[in-house]
Amino acid sequence: MKYPGLLLLLPAVLAAQAEPGLSRSEALAVLARPGTTEARVGALVDHLHRRMAWVATDYRTRTVDEILARGRGNCADHARVLLDLLKAGGFEARWVHEINLQAPSERRQASARAKVAEGGKGFSVFGYQHNDHRWLEVRDPASGTWFPADSSLGVVGGEAWARARLGFGARPAAVADMIAPVFVEAVQPGGLSEPRSEAYLLRAFGAMEGGRIRTLPAWPVWEKAVRALEPHASAAFRGTEDLQEQADTLAALAGAYAALRTQVQALQAPSAAELAQQGHRALLAKEPARAADLYDRALAAGLKGPRHPYQGACAQALAGHPDTAFGLLRKALDQGFHEAAALREDVDLATLHADPRWPGVVAAAEANARRFQAVHSDPDGARFIATDVGLFWKAYAQLPASSDSAGLLRREYLDQGSAGLQDFIPNRIRSAANLLDVIQQHPRYFAAIRENTLKAAGVEAAARRSFRAFKALYADAMFPDVTFVVGALDSGGTSSSNGLLIGVDLFGGGPGVPLEELDGWHRSVIHAHTDLPSIIAHELIHFQQRHEARTLLGKAFHEGSADFLASLIAEGNFNQATYDYGYAHEAELWKQFRAEMGGEDASRWLYGSSRRDGRPADLGYFMGFRIAQAYYNRAKDRKQAVRDLLTSSDFEGILKASRYGEDLK
């Protein structure tokens, strides 16, 4: 309940006082709208919140009609009106008492002491750093559960309540002074109370941030203090105990909540790669100043690779900062930026073209392009980079003693890693918090795979043999660097402008490695490190491909042709279970694939989600493989066939020329 002179009134509240009183019939009409119980209650709460100002209490008791005629009231007045309207509409509702943390106030403390002396211990529900509040719970007849409804704050529903009252993001203006609830109690008809702190302050709050909030160091302090305060706060509402005597418990709650805020913010803090991704999105949204700031922050956080300072230069040029843009371009060139054609044609840099420094930038990019071509057209020119694997295990070893596990992974692994690792983050690892979740969900698997993942560097000789074999098939082949990383169990490999990126966490299998924690898809894709040359060859082919695939046929051909060409240069198949099933059911699969291949939906054929109905995932790889294989085998000029498989987007023409499926019955 609000008290005079203690809390600021919103400007909107002051303006609303001049409005005429509320109409009961209008409010009931709002409640009568069609929809679920929560939706209908939500409509009424929104109506009252907008039309009925929330003001500090004057300690007068008014009837519902008097409050409606007045058009404003404190939180208890709001709850009284809402309860009356809900009952008139046939809903079951009950009162809720709350204690919430506030900024410390000697004035509020003095007022509380005076009220306790005058009226008894029941007035101790507000004080130096706490205040009380009233709202309702409404019973959903469909589920039998109770959900919050607070028209004074404009909040309905458990998720919205937790976000508005306990969340660490933006808060509604109406709750700006309420730091966090620390006690919740429902009052049943007849005056019997039901504790609700467990439901709201522990279960609902603890489920936020994907449940990670419960793993933070400050959580046990918060939980202990919530439980400690509960009986005393309940007694204070009954008028039998002075809550002022619980100052230490309230201070512990305030400290724990502040610590949780800090720890959640650290959990949410983006890595250098995530900042760069946000910068890229800001560029696409035509927000160059914001993009420039994000790229600056990303580079300061340790972002590696020439592409990022180049993108930062684009943002600075668009923001009208040519000197800073040229500085970033020089940084990108010093780190090896070699995409000279893209640089010349990039409209983001158009404002720099008249500057006398521009020709030198173009010349340097062209020189880098020639050096890159000379090095990476040689099968022996690519580097095999395994430093990120050791970096991960160094950070992993520190996790048990860390009070900020996600922050540790971000600082010691993601931000310290290679340019390849940082390219792997946005669409694969995604964030330090996500990586931590995956580790915590599969503790036995991660504890067992260290030695196997460290063997990744040992496959270089076999991979180079496949590189040389590919050069013999395709004279224009380029051989990018290969970076081994530990990911979040969702990708064995991909590529970027910095080369091939291989997730060795999916190649940690072998004797003694437990798989019980893994789901069916994971168990089907976990391999031994000896299968790494196969996926490296697959990703090498992807690096060369120039397909524009939109249809299922194109997407399946893109993946399957990479598998086929990889089979010509490397031993093994990292997708063997899929191929075993494919050969056993080929005629049936071809019939189904042919019926769907002209559409764009690949969900039944490609990637992890395609594992369904007893079929393994990625059967689209098999179909694309068989089409590519048939085309290659029928070709009179095999080297031209390889070029076609890599560069042609005429998927229907290739299928027709392959004559695949003609013999399948």
pLDDT at 596: 96
Say if residues 48 and 151 touch (Cβ distance below 8 Å). Answer: yes
Distance CA(111)–CA(12), nearest Å, equals 26
Closest CA relative to residue 430, chosen from 278, 307, 574, 305: 278
Q: What Cα–Cα distance (Å) separates residue 651 from each residue in 325, 353, 540, 598?
A: 42, 40, 21, 10
626: CB partners within 8 A, 6+ apart:
560, 582, 586, 660
Residue 486, token pair as written in the block: 């530990």
Closest CA relative to residue 480, chosen from 470, 492, 490: 470
Q: Give ∠ CA 67-72-75 in degrees, rounded to 5.
A: 90
Query: How many other CB atoms are there within 10 angstroms of residue 541's CB atom?
Result: 25
Say if residues 467 and 379 touch (Cβ distance below 8 Å). Answer: yes
Distance CA(126)–CA(112), nearest Å, equals 6
Distance CA(49)–CA(45), nearest Å, equals 6
pLDDT at 120: 96
**DSSP helix/strand/coil, 95:** strand
Instruction: For residue 321, give the amino acid letter.
Output: H
Full set of structural domains in the chain with CATH: 11-266 (3.10.620.30), 277-376 (no CATH), 384-538 (no CATH), 545-658 (no CATH)
- Please give the order of strands across the beta sheet that includes 180-187: 155-156, 146-150, 130-139, 93-101, 180-187, 193-195
Distance CA(536)–CA(200), nearest Å, equals 50
pLDDT at 20: 52
Closest CA relative to residue 247, chosen from 120, 101, 119: 101
pLDDT at 22: 82
Of the CA atoms within 13 Å of residue 272, those in its CB half-sphere come to 25
Beta bridge partners of 503: 485
Say if residues 54 and 2 touch (Cβ distance below 8 Å). Answer: yes
**pLDDT mean values, one per 10 residues, the chain (665 residues):** 31 40 87 93 93 80 88 91 94 96 95 95 96 96 95 93 90 84 91 93 91 88 97 96 96 95 82 91 94 94 91 96 97 95 95 97 96 95 96 96 88 94 92 91 96 94 96 96 96 90 95 92 88 94 93 96 95 82 95 95 83 84 97 96 96 97 85
Distance CA(432)–CA(275), nearest Å, equals 13
Inter-residue long-range contacts of 601-605, CB under 8 Å, 24+ positions, other chains counted: 601/552, 602/552, 602/555, 602/556, 605/552, 605/555, 605/556
Binning the chain into helix, strand and coil, the percentages to the nearest 5 are 60, 10, 30
Q: What pTM was computed for the model?
A: 0.67
Say if residues 97 and 132 touch (Cβ distance below 8 Å). Answer: yes
Distance CA(295)–CA(293), nearest Å, equals 6
Query: How many other CB atoms are there within 10 angstroms of residue 421's CB atom?
Result: 29
